[in-house]
A and B are shown apart, each in its own frame.
Chain A
């Protein structure tokens, strides 16, 4: 068994997390509060570093424009005082606007055009047919309107069968990928517990 304080800390905390598998219990509650505290403290420090590194330091070096985001950042705290609470709308509106601008400009090229272009292949093999039909039906599956004619409804039924089959196979494959990563992590943890801590694995 290890005599290192760090190894013991790691091992006990790991067991504390695993105690959740038995059910929510006081030990897990302790570990959970510790973790939330540490996580928040860590992220807060990184945030403050960002303010200093990207805000105050360049500002004092002469980039006067940075007064604006810093002022906006302070405005978020207006929410605690009712008469000026509306001031906090500015920073939120701007942050969300940056996100939506990044989304609408980025998606059309990367997720729309590039993906469609890559899927256009000659239908000369079984694989290519599955690829093209699978992609097209999956896109059409997300048609939200209602269809009037009987024929259209019937073809939507078929489209949705093909689409769901394709998506489910993709999900199955995705499931495996995620599983593989978790197996690797789990092996790491078992090595930690039974190797470094208990010395059962050489």
Chain B
């Protein structure tokens, strides 16, 4: 009935570590975070767009939420909510394009919450979230056109992208916008790193909530993630050291 115990045990332990840290911070613990340049640049980018009197652009990519890469899009939409909050404080408009219909529904909800929190619920306009279509390149074509037509001042591409990311990022850069991007999709990271002013690498996109809200839930979860990464790195290094001495215990255990 149970195929293998190792993944289950590891899965439950991981969940336990994360939820344990969330609990710990919720009951008053602290966990100071190091700085991430790309996240520090967010406020700066919104500020610059405001100075230029141009809108801020955001898109969370083409992936659907109901897939195993969906959490990248969720992370992207979460970041959008903080960007929108900040932009509303500055009185700057946010334009978002959306490729996937589920993401569209989410984005609409998230933006309403964000503007309410910023104290400007009246800023929300459904026309500023543009659904284009899940057809990849049609989404890209529509997006680059909107970037140019609206003369955007800052561009955020954070979420789950496919081949269209480069076209959009390059168009934004040529428009003169500051480009902040991020994804955990390995196939797109090389392009985004090369073309953007700032790029959130892999896991960093899942950390935005903790940096912007500082809520115990998101910071606690980040602390739990840190523990798991320390363990993962130690397993790789320690397992290999043991393997060098012909002890393959760790490798065998993981293969079970």
Contacts and interface: CB of A to CB of B under 8 A. Distances in A.
Interface of A: 17, 20, 23-24, 28-29, 31-32, 35-36, 38-40, 42-43, 76, 79, 88-89, 91-92, 95-96, 98-100, 102-109, 112-113, 116-117, 119-124, 128, 132-133, 135-137, 139-140, 142-147, 167-168, 170-175, 178
A132 B237 contact: yes
Given A102-B70, A178-B187, A112 B10 contact: yes
Q: Which of B163, B204, B210, B243 has the most CB of A within 10 A?
A: B243
A36 B133 contact: yes
A145 B224 CA distance: 10
Interface residues of B, number: 77
10 nearest A-B residue pairs (beta carbon): A39-B138, A39-B135, A99-B70, A174-B190, A24-B148, A120-B239, A40-B133, A171-B190, A117-B254, A39-B133
B61 to A, nearest CB: 13
B67 A102 contact: yes
Contacts of A108: 7, 10-11, 14
A145 B219 CA distance: 10
Contact of A116 (B32, B149, B223, B239): B239
A167 B189 CA distance: 10
B67 A36 contact: no
A95 B109 CA distance: 14
Contacts of A89: 109
A158 to B, nearest CB: 14
Interface string B234-256: 11110111011010101100110
Interface string B1-14: 00000110011001
B106 A92 contact: yes
B236 A171 contact: no
B34 A135 contact: no
Interface string B171-190: 10000000000000011011
Interface stretch (B82-90, B117-125, B225-233): B225-233
A28 B229 CA distance: 47
B102 A42 contact: no
Given A43-B133, A43-B134, A171-B193, A32 B241 contact: no
A113 B7 CA distance: 7
Contact of A145 (B34, B135, B201, B251): B34
Given A92-B106, A120-B251, A132-B236, 11 more contacts: A28-B145, A29-B145, A92-B109, A98-B66, A102-B67, A113-B254, A120-B236, A123-B241, A140-B229, A143-B34, A145-B226
A136 B237 contact: yes
Nearest to B240: A132
